[in-house]
Amino acid sequence: MSKSQLNLLDFSSRPIRTLHTAWFAFFLTFVMWFSHAPMKPFIMAAFDMSNAQWKALLILNVALTIPARIVVGIMVDKLGPRIVYSALLIASAFLCWGFAFAQSYEQLALFRFLCGFIGAGFVIGIRLVGEWFPAKTVGLAEGIYGGWGNFGSAAAAWTLPAIAAYLYGGDDGWRYAIATTGAVAFLYGFFFYKTARNTPKGSTYFKPKKSGGLEVSNKRDFYFYLAMNIPMYLALAVLAWKLSAPAIGLLTETYTQIIWLILAVLFVYQVYSIYQVNKEHLKHSLPEVEQYKFKQVAILDWAYFVTFGSELAVVSMLPAFFMETFDLSPVKAGLLGGAFAIMNLIARPGGGFLSDKFGRKKTMTILICGLTIGYLILSTVESSWSIPLAVAAVMFCSFFVQAGEGAVFAMVPLVKRRMTGQIAGMVGAYGNVGGVTFLTVYSFVNTSTFFMIIAAAAGICLLLVQFIDEPEGHMHEVLPDGTVQLIEVS
């Protein structure tokens, strides 16, 4: 296989087989994670819930993924993608079944919250794919992994309502349709363990020297890193507050305050863990050969906040938006709502390919500018529009959103190889912070204002991206025997 080309039909190539194995695992996690969105009318009828309660489920769905991606990122760097992905797929099946057969709104909400753990699967494949592909094609490979995996939300929107209505039927058809996705993931977890490998034969799987947090290069980056953890806790605190609102009533004021206290304790513990990882070189910076700039991670965090964060929010509300704006059936609305996610098949790989070819910074700049314009266009969609024109506007916007995601993760594996899982975990977690933030905003405003707020956030992110450094030359990793190995990044 050429270093500058990928032949996705070359199944004799172990890297290509690994890529296909990885993206399908990610695809299954997204089918399970977003299996509830196209089922809105069935679930609301089954539990006689209000619109506010439904919106609470949407926020709950992305909440746990924030800490889960951090934890899973640490586990991937320590244990390797093969074990962690297999375990996540198998465990996720049980969470999916719990949601499918919940008997009260409280049970439904609990399992929807726990299903946020499923969304951490994305992080695992980022490290796996980064191990198997060189810098010249890693952006495209990561884009294929992310794009074809993200397509799972569209597959769920297109298939599950029809499966529920026509295959299973009855009032409980939606339950069996969702449970089926868990069964497939359960079986695939064992297949993944049997077929996947962490690295090509003879390659070293670099691991962090310590677990518990990112290793940073100097004291300035240490405090920068601590500050970048705060928004993740704030997002969870806002979520707890939102769930205590009278219209939802999942939490009492006392429970909300207890959760806030727990979050404060966890933040203090995380600060301590990060200090333990970095204390040896806070007084003296890391050797130059091992240094990297944490600002690279921080800017990628905010870029993913806007790109994937907005996608999380939009794919959660878009089927309902089409159903209510154009008075469509759940099946038709699900098909049209899937238009946003279908662009993942070409857009996210496209963003990775453009990054490989024209540079990471330039590509991110252009794509985030495009998604800003796209959301401004969506803010003008109303019932007077023709449905084809509305779908075209959705697909235009989604191209730039998902290509932007591809551009972000075309750069993640090129920051610091031995910590790719943790970096991917933090960047991915910020995507969920964006999802919680935008879905919280959505619960207070109308759809037009919702899209305009996303556009404004994208405009701010566009300015931040101008401060990122283009990866050039090689990154350095130190082998256990002290030998320095060069890894190409451009």
What's the CA gap between 143 and 291, in Å, rounded? Answer: 27
φ/ψ (deg, to 5) at 246 = -55, -35
Distance, CA of 206 to CA of 149 (rounded, Å) = 25
What is the CB neighbour count within 10 angstroms for residue 483?
9
Check: CB of residue 124 under 8 Å from CB of residue 76: yes
Task: Give the CA-trace dihedral at 202, 25, 66, 401, to 10 degrees.
Answer: 100
Does residue 205 lie within any of the structural domains? no
- Looking up tokens 């919106």 gives 55
Cβ neighbors of 3 (< 8 A, separation 6 or more) are 134, 136, 137
Q: Is residue 381 situated within a structural domain?
A: yes
Q: What's residue 188's pLDDT?
A: 98
Tally of CB atoms within 10 A around 211: 14
450 within some domain: yes
- Tokens found for residue 476: 């350095």
Which residues are CB-contacts of 480 (< 8 A; sequence separation ≥ 6)?
none
Inside any domain, residue 332: yes
Nearest to 319 by CA among 340, 300, 303, 299: 340
Could you say which DSSP state residue 470 is in? Answer: P
pLDDT at residue 480, rounded to an integer: 54
Are 379 and 405 within 8 A, CB to CB?
no
Count, residues in the chain: 490
In a domain, 233, yes or no: yes
Query: Tokens 């495009």, residue?
Result: 370
Q: How many domains does the chain have?
A: 1
Query: Does residue 71 lie in a domain region?
Result: yes
**pLDDT at residue 147, rounded to an integer:** 86
Instruction: Tell me the residue range of the domain where 156 lies.
Output: 14-200+210-488
CATH assignment at residue 345: 1.20.1250.20
End-to-end CA distance of the chain: 18
What DSSP string runs through 82-119? HHHHHHHHHHHHHHHHHHHT--SHHHHHHHHHHGGGGG
Angle made by CA atoms 431, 437, 440, in degrees to the nearest 5: 140
Query: Which two tokens mark 294?
Result: 């944490």
Token pair of 273 as six digits:
């863990």
DSSP string, 260-290: HHHHHHHHHHHHHHHHHHHGGGSSSPPPGGG
Residue 273 is assigned to a structural domain of this protein: yes
Give residue 134's pLDDT.
87
Strands (E), 224-368: none
Q: What is the pLDDT along the chain (490 residues), one digit of tens a residue?
A: 444 567 887 888 999 999 999 999 999 999 999 899 888 888 999 999 888 888 788 878 888 888 999 999 999 999 999 999 999 999 999 999 999 999 999 899 999 999 999 999 999 999 999 999 988 898 999 999 988 888 888 888 888 988 988 888 777 899 999 999 999 999 999 999 999 999 998 888 888 877 778 888 888 999 999 999 999 999 899 888 888 877 777 788 898 999 999 999 999 999 999 999 888 877 776 777 778 889 999 999 999 999 999 988 887 788 888 888 888 887 788 778 777 767 778 899 999 999 989 999 999 999 999 999 999 999 998 888 999 999 899 989 999 999 999 999 999 988 887 888 899 999 999 998 998 899 888 888 888 999 999 999 999 999 999 999 988 765 555 555 455 555 666 5
**Six token digits for residue 487:** 């890894």
| 445: helix, strand or coil | coil
3 located within any domain: no
